Amino acid sequence: MHALNNKVAVVIGGSSGLGKAIALGLADAGADVIASARSGSSIEDVAKLIEAKGRRTARIPSDVTSSGSLQTLHDRVIEMFGTIDILVNAAGITKRIPTLECGEDLWTSIMNVNLNGTLRACQIFGKTMLSQGAGRIINIASLSTFVAFDGVAAYCASKAAVGELTRSLAIEWGSRGVLVNGIAPGIFPTELNRQLLDTPRGQELLSRTPMHRFGKVEEIATTAVYLASPENSFTNGEILTVDGGYMASGVNQ
């Protein structure tokens, strides 16, 4: 697959989990990929993997809670690569806690990363894409964009808002060549949730997935490649679920 030859992609939150898988998938498809995150050591690890695929990259840390940090990331990518064709917003945090115990500081911190961080990046990188008259933005949503889960009210609210932000930007920017879509992953074993999946709660989630298995991170990457590619010329404002049929089964928590 070389659908993304000569394209430059920035994956924010691209040093681990699904973001890392997407960054490597975009590189496999031919893109030069900058996987950015707060940790310099984790960025280095992904950068080496991207370079091993014969693609260009850069080691640029960023913090989605800081507009200045994201602006620096943007400016350095433009300086080094001359363009930005693809933006993936994959940074996110969560905490399982009863809502009555969720203080305002915790609520605000989750919103600031998941929702406000996505908005900041869309504004900064989207401005350049609009000036180019072309671009692809992919926001990582969640099943909780559509349904609620117990004990994660702040996360659910933030991801529901990411879905509406995605659709709103698609309406504003689609006619100007910038397509904005989202991916709502089902249950994928990552560093963030691997311990949960080994519990009875994890087995319950597995039993409610019609394909009777958890996802493989590569299966998220292929969806991102499609949304980022020139072959996607008319998918705009969609939140694509990649969940083994979880949502189709009509189950809720």
Nearest residue to 139 via CA among 193, 109, 108, 180: 180
Contact (CB, 8 A) for 125 and 170: no
Tokens 């994928």 appear where? 188
The catalytic site residues sit at 155
What would the DSSP string read from start to end of 70-121? Answer: HHHHHHHHHHHHS---EEEE---------GGG--HHHHHHHHIIIIIHHHHH
Q: Is the dihedral of CA 142, 203, 188, 69 positive or negative?
A: positive
Task: Report the half-sphere exposure of 83 (CA within 13 A, side-chain side).
Answer: 15
CA dist 16 and 244 (Å) reads: 22
User: Which value, to the nearest 10 degrees, does the dihedral of the CA atoms of residues 187, 190, 191, 196 take?
Assistant: 30
Burial 201-240 (b: 16+ CB within 10 A, else e): ebeebeebbeeeebbebebbbbbbbbbbbeebeeebbbbb
CA dist 50 and 66 (Å) reads: 26
CA dist 70 and 106 (Å) reads: 22
